[in-house]
Amino acid sequence: MTPARLARLVLEDLRRNRTHLGLASIGIVVGIAAFTFFLALGAGVKRVVLGEIFPIDKLEVVPKTLDVDLGPLKMGLGADDLDQAAVERLRAIPGVRGAYPKMKLTVPAIATGGEKLLGRPFATELVADGIDPALVAGDVAPGYEFRDFEDPADPRNTAARVPCTADTACPAHQYCEDLPKGAPLTTPRVCLPYIPVLISNHLHELYNGSIARAHGLPRINPEFAIGITGKLWFGESMISKATGTPIRRRGMLVGFSARAMTIGATLPIGYVKRMNVAFGGPEAATRYHSVLLEVDKDRITAVAGAVSAAGFSLEDTGAERAGLMIAVFMLVFGLIGATIVGIAAVNIMHTFFMIIYERKREIGILRAVGASRADIRRLILGEAAAVGLATGTLGVGTALAFARLCDFVSARWLPDFPYKPASYFSFSPALVGAALGFAVLFCLVGAFFPARRAAALDPAAVLSAP
């Protein structure tokens, strides 16, 4: 039997038995819809959780310490910093694409400003980290730079400072330096570059989703927030009395980054080093508090083991637990969908047995005019494959429709919350292909034994039966 003839027979048989097959296929549609819907939901949640909240290709290494629980307090015994030699050891681990030291700002500091953005001034204790600018090069807004503009070793910083009396006399992204406290107004001043600042995506989402609503503040649009400035007062504090001569500078927001510290500001590490040295001594420039590793995703487990073997610890970001919970979620609902489809496959089998019983004389005639047993098997399995493809497509379409409905309800009626996505689902081509293949496979499995029975019919016995 030619493929064209076989295809015509398959279509004709499907048309004649569309009611029986349609009813039998409802379970396949429901199962594939559930299977696709929940796996797409899991993939979408995984994209947000492990891509934005807990980036899984970033490992933060900290010194290994022994924590002693003292009731309300916890004391860490052991070194609390890393040196350059430790950074190089970590960089040499196979699977590590880059090692970037991070240094906490150990100087009391205050940040003030925000009038233009929030409509009212604010002042807060400044918590900050210093990081290597190379780590966040892709997160800086166009037209801005995130680098140490005052590093004397950088040839880009050799130009003489422009004298000034007001900010308007300075080049772009520079300001007329603030006078030290108590200095005469006639003290000469020069233009200084703003200290570039990065804010974490998490802090931005937390502000828009919770803080702004709680305090009646406007939500921040990241595109319009870029370029806002504020004063950074190093060596001053609202909590305790600081020692030393305060250093007054200004900062400018140049971008949002998943690599920035979660709560606080992130600065180029050169600025943090100089401030720590100014208020803590020269040795402060050699002490890193952690090292961020960029790791190949398929080598994360091996790198984590090598870090532990080298005598270091990994900062617990919650990524491992979050990934495990998402995997369990996807497994459970995937099995539920597979179970529904499996039960529907039994119904498909029963339906094909019934159809074969009703068509046994027709099958006998096909055998009598030259159709082989293999032709009969291909005919039945072809019908099953067509049913699987149709029901799989309908199931995927149903899942997609429900997903769009959920996204619409979320966007229309749910309040904003941190990391609220535009869509909770991720329908990848691989998932859609797997769902369609799954539907076809189970229909073929359901039709396998009916196809064998149809092929085994004796045409003489069938045609001579009353």
pLDDT in tens, 126-178: 999 999 998 888 889 999 999 999 998 888 888 888 999 899 899 989 999 98
Rounded CA separation 48/55 (Å): 9
269 or 381: which carries more pLDDT confidence? 269
For residue 272, which amino acid is it?
V
Question: 105, 310 in Cβ contact below 8 A?
Answer: no
R_g (Cα) of the chain, nearest Å: 33
Q: What is the bridge-based pairing of β-strands 195-200 and 247-257?
A: parallel
Tell me the average pLDDT across 170-199: 89
Whether residue 210 contacts residue 198, with contact meaning beta carbons closer than 8 Å, is answered with: no
Instruction: Check whether 69 has a pLDDT greater than 60.
Output: no
Structure confidence at residue 20 (pLDDT):
66
| CA 290 – CA 100 distance, rounded (Å) | 9
The pLDDT, as a whole number, for residue 316 is 61
Tell me the domain boundaries of the chain: 3-53+323-464, 66-315
pTM: 0.62
116 vs 307, higher pLDDT: 307
Most confident of 53-67, 205-219, 438-452: 438-452
The Cα–Cα gap between 192 and 175 comes to 6
Residue 95 to residue 293: CA distance in whole angstroms: 10
- Enumerate residues 6+ apart whose C-beta is below 8 A from 387: 14, 21, 25, 28, 348, 443
pLDDT tens readout for residues 414-464: 766 656 777 888 898 998 998 898 888 888 888 888 778 877 776 666 566
Q: Residue 76: which pLDDT band, with cuts at 50, 70 and 90?
A: very low
Whole-angstrom Cα distance, residue 278 to residue 235? 9
**Residue with token string 């369609």:** 436
Please give the DSSP secondary-structure letter assigned to residue 262: S
